[in-house]
């Protein structure tokens, strides 16, 4: 049995196109855009329903409507301990705000680990809810996003409007 054997998936619609949701038991494991460029949903996930999917649907809808700025969903992202540290920091970036890869590395006490931090951000399995879209280049320019730079720009614009 593989580590993905107990993953279930479903798809929901969003203003940025379909999102594939993954859950293990009652926790969200992934949110992936269509044509996700960095390790999309694992092939072993089977179609199904989870109580967490209903929560995510409501909260994603409210987020795009501009009435939700914080998510309250049980999360279980899968990755290395370094990636988990980075993903925890991402969740602290305030709604409508942004930070740089270098600032995240410095916050971790590892200012020379900018590339490693960028790699962990790129592999964030729970798009939107763990807000990797809020990480921009040191120059202020938009940089890589597994959902594509257009979607990243639209997420940032949504948060700035609200």
Q: What is the overall mean pLDDT for the chain?
A: 90
Token representation of residue 106: 């410095």
Residue 40 has a pLDDT of 66
Mean pLDDT of 57-84: 95
Residue 38 confidence (pLDDT): 66
More confident residue, 24 or 45: 24
**Is 9 noted as a catalytic residue in this protein?**
no
Domain boundaries, the chain: 7-65, 81-161
Residue 42 to residues 46, 78, 121, 150: CA-CA distances in angstroms? 10, 11, 18, 24
Average pLDDT score over residue span 58-67 = 96
Say which of 22, 56, 105, 132 is annotated catalytic: 132
What pLDDT does 137 receive? 86
Q: What is the pLDDT of residue 46?
A: 87
Percent of the chain scored above 90 by pLDDT?
A: 72
Task: Indicate whether 155 pLDDT > 50.
Answer: yes
Separation of alpha carbons 141 and 35, rounded Å = 22
Query: What local confidence, expressed as pLDDT, does residue 1 receive?
Result: 32
Q: Which CATH architecture has domain 81-161?
A: Orthogonal Bundle (1.10)
pLDDT of residue 25: 84
Distance CA 144, CA 152 (A): 9
Mean per-residue pLDDT, 23-52: 84
**Nearest 10 degrees: CA dihedral of 130, 135, 141, 143?**
-70
- Distance CA(19)–CA(30), nearest Å, equals 10
15 pLDDT above the threshold of 70:
yes
Number of Cβ atoms within 10 Å of the Cβ of 110: 14
DSSP 47-93: E---HHHHHHHHHHHHHHHT--SS----B-----HHHHHHHHHHTTS
User: Which carries the bigger pLDDT value, residue 131 or residue 1?
Assistant: 131
In the numeric block, the tokens 């993954």 are attached to 22
Find out whether 41 and 26 touch, Cβ atoms under 8 Å: no
Give residue 162's pLDDT. Answer: 65
């Amino acid at each position: 049995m593989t580590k993905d054997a107990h993953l279930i998936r479903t798809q929901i619609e969003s203003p940025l196109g379909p999102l594939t949701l993954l859950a293990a038991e009652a926790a969200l494991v992934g949110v992936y855009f269509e044509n996700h460029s960095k390790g999309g949903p694992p092939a072993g996930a089977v179609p199904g329903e989870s109580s967490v999917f209903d929560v995510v649907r409501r909260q994603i809808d409210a987020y795009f409507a501009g009435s939700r700025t914080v998510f309250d969903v049980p999360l279980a992202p899968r990755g290395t301990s370094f990636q988990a540290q980075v993903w925890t920091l991402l969740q602290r970036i305030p709604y409508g705000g942004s930070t740089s890869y270098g600032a995240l590395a410095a916050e971790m006490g590892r200012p020379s680990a900018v590339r490693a931090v960028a790699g962990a951000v790129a592999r964030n399995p729970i798009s939107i809810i763990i807000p990797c879209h809020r990480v921009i280049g040191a120059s202020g320019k938009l940089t890589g996003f597994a959902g594509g730079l257009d979607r990243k720009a639209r997420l940032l614009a949504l948060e700035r409007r609200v």
